[in-house]
Structure 1
Amino acid sequence: MGTIVDATMPADQFALADTFAQLPDVECETVQLVANDDDSVAPFVWLSASDMDDVHEALEADSSTRDVERLLEKEDRSLYHVTWQARIRIVVYLLGVEDGTLLDARGENGRWELRILFPSHDSVSATYDICQQHGVDLTIHRVKGVVESIDRTGKELTDKQYEALAAGIESDYYHVPRGRSLEELANELDISHQALSERLRRGHRTLIQQTLK
């Protein structure tokens, strides 16, 4: 049936540690993460921050990147194609030794949140041991079956999206007129208004997509 694992890893053991340190409000969301025939990892990622010009410069200077190309620009975020240095490819390789598939990766505040699909619980344990042996601090937070990972709407909100949406309801952010501004709600959650805007938008998209099916 398969097992889905939610885990975290320090950015200094994976990717973009320099960028997160230089620009604390940066958020990175992986669009696609695959191993090509040449054994390179070439993901497409969305990056968002208050100043996207600073993000581009930080990405180019980051010790984990070898080449970056901005493909699409929007007001608050940009889509990049990034070629990573070898150590990132090594970590992805370790996660796949026991047939693990990296479904999603999100980075912010000096760490990465990973969602990985494994064929069995035994493969989860084996991958954890492999990471420990190679000095990779993979912290597993939740392990669940594939069926359990799908909620009533057919797709699960992330914990942060749920927290943001719930806080918006509780604080009357969605009322007309609004009981809280975006900035006030962000302060309550102790995150930037940019980060909150992204989480709400992703949460809205998940709920709308499932409602319209």
Structure 2
Amino acid sequence: MTLVVEFRVPAHETALGATFERIPELRCEMEQAITDPIPGFWFQGPTRTALEATFDSDPTVEAYSRVVSDEHRSLYDLEFTDDVCELVSIVLEDGVVLDLSAVRGTWSFHGRYPSHESASRTYDRLVEYGTAVDVAKLRGIEHSNDGHTLTEEQQKTLQTAIEHGFFEIPRGITMEELAARLDISHQAVSERLRRAYKAMATDQLGQNGKRDTDSATSVRAVTTEVEASDC
């Protein structure tokens, strides 16, 4: 089952933290899918002089060069420190980065992973590296042809729950508030979550309830026990 996960990590723990601290309005977007440690980045917001001055003092930037500019933004090739390149390697070890952007000091990227286990390994490695990673969204899930498929309503419920911190400790939203946001009853939310958990668990464990591998079976943001969702 292929899983697309949106991860968010703070710039001050990864890359360009000093730059975003000095230029809070800065927006950044990767030029293309990451295929090597030095992708191109589009920057929007500050003047060229202000941006390059922050690059000069940013401890995560080894070197930079401006490629092209238009009326609103500039494209730069950046060479990062080894620490940043190691983080990139962690992300790419089990998956493919589909896009990458940063705003208000937070990097956001969508990663495509062949299984929940591979996405979970990436999450665990980022945490072990000391990065405060947040799972913001799940989408584009492809299921095997064994009938264990999330319905559109179940996927929407899970995605909304994650976006609003339902699985966080403490919760960012209650079951009642989640129900109101989805415009359905409390019981309907609980039932959708239960069925979604069962479908995902069956996908990972199989009909006989046995693990296919010893790896973690899902991204940590969706591993809360079913019973806890009724709190």
With the shorter chain as reference, the TM-score category is: 0.5 to 0.7
Change (3 A) 1:53 1:146: farther
> Does the alignment pair 1:29 with 2:29?
yes
Contact 2:4 2:141 in 1 (8 A): yes
Q: Deviations over 1:80-120 (max 9, x none)?
A: 011111111111111123x2111111112111111111111
- Offset at 1:147? 5.8
Query: 1:109 is matched with which residue: 104, 120, 128?
Result: 104
Give the aligned residue type for 1:84.
Answer: F
- Please name the residue that 2:122 is paired with: 127
> Does the alignment pair 1:144 with 2:178?
no
Measured in 1, the distance between the counterparts of 2:76 and 2:60 equals 14
Structure 1's unaligned 5+ residue stretches are: 149-213
- Please name the residue that 2:10 is paired with: 10
Q: Which structure has the larger Rg?
A: 2
> Does the alignment pair 1:52 with 2:48?
yes
Change (3 A) 1:129 1:95: same
Q: Deviations over 1:131-183 (max 9, x none)?
A: 222212211011223569xxxxxxxxxxxxxxxxxxxxxxxxxxxxxxxxxxx
TM-score, normalised to structure 2, is: 0.58
Measured in 1, the distance between the counterparts of 2:142 and 2:117 equals 18
- Please name the residue that 1:87 is paired with: 83
Report how many aligned residue pairs link the two structures.
143
Q: Percent identity?
A: 27
Contact 2:7 2:137 in 1 (8 A): yes
Measured in 2, the distance between the counterparts of 1:123 and 1:9 equals 18
- Please name the residue that 2:225 is paired with: none
Q: Secondary structure at the match of 1:42?
A: coil
CA RMSD of aligned residues (A): 1.8
Q: Secondary structure at the match of 2:19?
A: helix
- Offset at 1:3? 1.1
Change (3 A) 1:33 1:56: farther
Measured in 1, the distance between the counterparts of 2:25 and 2:126 equals 28
